Amino acid sequence: SGGFGAASTERGPIAADARHTTWTANARKTYRAAVAATALAFLILVFGALTANVAGANSSCLGFPGCRVVAVHGLPLWIQVTHRALAFLLFLHLLGMSIAARKRDVSVLLKRATWIAFGAVLLQLLVAAALVERHLPPVLRSRHQGVGTLIWLATFSLAALARSIAVPAQPEAAP
């Protein structure tokens, strides 16, 4: 009953009836949300790179989740705060996606991929909190970069999987 990207639900293959239309619509909603998550993850990676490379940005906002101490003002602080705000937005977006996917009639594989992406962001927030509260030790900086890469892979894979499920295969033309 279907493999990777097969058009099936927990109940088995979908016949060409009203359920198919509903399922496709739900899968397409999930696909659009996954593309938004991927774009947001990319933007967060860009701001993370700026946070790491603009002088003073990584230590401009001390404390987590908010700034208890503002060490540097101006552009470095703006970069850091924007990076954090976008990260929390991605967290909430993927939480909403995960809850919606659980309720929608989409494949189990797609539901699991959504929860994996959400779990990666949750892990990243925990690593980020430890990073900031422990005054930026190099080992936690490396973990933060690594989990950020995992988030990019998870959201991109989620979008690719959702696309393969949401867009029905076109029948081949007879010669």
**18-55, pLDDT tens digit by residue?**
344 444 677 788 889 999 999 999 999 999 999 888 88
Q: Which pLDDT value is given to residue 95? A: 96
Class of residue 129 by CB neighbours under 10 A (exposed 0-12, middle 13-18, buried 19+): middle
- pLDDT over 80 at 4, yes or no: no
Spell out the residues 6+ positions from residue 89 whose beta carbon is closer than 8 angstroms to its own. Answer: 40
For 65, half-sphere exposure in the C-beta direction (CA atoms, 13 angstrom radius) is 11
Q: Please give the backbone phi and psi of residue 136, each rounded to the nearest 5 degrees, phi first.
A: 60, 50
E strands, the chain, where? 8-9, 12-13, 61-62, 69-70
Q: Which pLDDT value is given to residue 2? A: 46
Q: What is the mean pLDDT of the chain?
A: 81
Its pTM stands at 0.76
Spell out the residues 6+ positions from residue 98 whose beta carbon is closer than 8 angstroms to its own. Answer: 111, 114, 115, 118
Q: How many CB atoms lie within 10 A of CB 159?
A: 23
Q: Which pLDDT value is given to residue 8? A: 45
d(CA 47, CA 32): 23
- pLDDT over 80 at 173, yes or no: no
- pLDDT over 80 at 161, yes or no: yes
- pLDDT over 90 at 170, yes or no: no
- pLDDT over 70 at 106, yes or no: yes
Q: What is the mean pLDDT of residues 133-154?
A: 87
Q: What is the mean pLDDT of residues 64-78?
A: 82
